[in-house]
Amino acid sequence: MKSVIYKNKFGLKSAHIWFKNTLNEGENADIIKAFGVSSNLKNGIKKEQNTLIINLKDNEDVIYNNINKTVRYEINRCEKENIKFEFYDSSMLKNNSEIVSKFKDCYDNMYKAKGLDTFLNINDFNKYIDSNLLVLTIAVDNENEELAYHVYVVTDEKVRLLYSCSNFRSDSSKKSLIGRANKYLHWKDILKFKQENKIEYDFGGINSFTDPNGIDKFKLAFGGEQRKYYNVIYGNSFLGKILVFLYKLKGNK
């Protein structure tokens, strides 16, 4: 379990906690936002979410052979195209504002191209880095252009995809290459985290197993175990409980 602590303008503290399983795992905060809860905590506001898990304890060949044949072909093609893999943990990111800035530009521009008003909260992003919770990986072509980025929440045993973006500003002729590089990057990430003795690689959520959208189909092509988890918000102090109760009432109107 790892956490990130925030303080709001009223002086109340909130905590983002990852992979919390019981309410007994205390935290010095008024409001807890628990992500990746494996059991249904009784208190608070709960949101159920599906996800896909790769068991990193499996043999590399087993993991690879569970991947869709077409995706395996694209992974092998990227090897021949000399796509490079770059890995940055939180300690590296603390001293590399250029990489963080490039990722933010890619992320913001990707959503801008989709006509969505979505931007990376850089303050929260840096808090996660300061809490040693983030890993950022990049697929780079032989012209040293960044094609795809992945950002993960990482604990001692578990890894969950938090953000993924592709360089849509690149030459349109590279569109297919970027698509392949994104798949290749997942594979290289899996191998790297396996090497670091992580036990679970989480694709960060699936909208639907029965009626998958395009992104769901992309993730499902990697195989893995279909699983359910919960994200929970609950009060951890008297004031926190009041605020969550009011928030819950507001959400029910």
Banded pLDDT at 87 (limits 50, 70, 90):
very high
Of the two residues 221 and 18, the one the predictor is more confident about is 221
pLDDT tens profile 143-163: 899 999 999 999 989 999 999
- In this prediction, residue 7 carries a pLDDT of 67
- Only one residue has tokens 């409980």, namely 241
pLDDT tens profile 181-193: 999 999 999 999 9
Banded pLDDT at 253 (limits 50, 70, 90):
very low
Residue 1 has pLDDT above 70, yes or no: no
- In this prediction, residue 74 carries a pLDDT of 97
CA distance 147 to 159: 22
Q: Is 209 helix (H, G, I), strand (E, B) or coil?
A: coil
246: left (phi over 0), alpha (psi -120 to 50) or beta: alpha
- In this prediction, residue 252 carries a pLDDT of 53
- Only one residue has tokens 């808090």, namely 127
Rounded mean pLDDT of 236-248?
A: 87
In whole angstroms, what separates CA 60 from the centre of its chain?
22
Neighbouring C-beta atoms of residue 20, cutoff 10 Å: 23
pLDDT tens profile 36-54: 887 766 667 888 899 999 9
Burial class of residue 67 in the structure, from the number of CB atoms within 10 Å of its CB (0-12 exposed, 13-18 middle, 19+ buried): buried
Counting Cα atoms < 13 Å in the Cβ hemisphere of 111 gives 12
Residue 171 has pLDDT above 70, yes or no: no
Rounded mean pLDDT of 220-239?
A: 91
- In this prediction, residue 245 carries a pLDDT of 87
Residue 129 has pLDDT above 80, yes or no: yes
Q: Are strands 146-154 and 134-140 parallel, antiparallel or unpaired?
A: antiparallel
224: left (phi over 0), alpha (psi -120 to 50) or beta: left
Cα dist from 175 to 102, 126, 132, 180, 222, whole Å: 19, 30, 33, 9, 21
Rounded mean pLDDT of 12-21?
A: 83
Of the two residues 59 and 17, the one the predictor is more confident about is 59
Rounded mean pLDDT of 53-77?
A: 97
- In this prediction, residue 57 carries a pLDDT of 97
The domains of the chain, with CATH numbers, are 2-50+229-251 (no CATH), 58-198 (3.40.630.30)
The percent of residues in the chain predicted with pLDDT above 70, rounded, is 89
Q: Are strands 225-235 and 45-55 parallel, antiparallel or unpaired?
A: antiparallel
Rounded mean pLDDT of 130-141?
A: 95
Of the two residues 26 and 176, the one the predictor is more confident about is 176
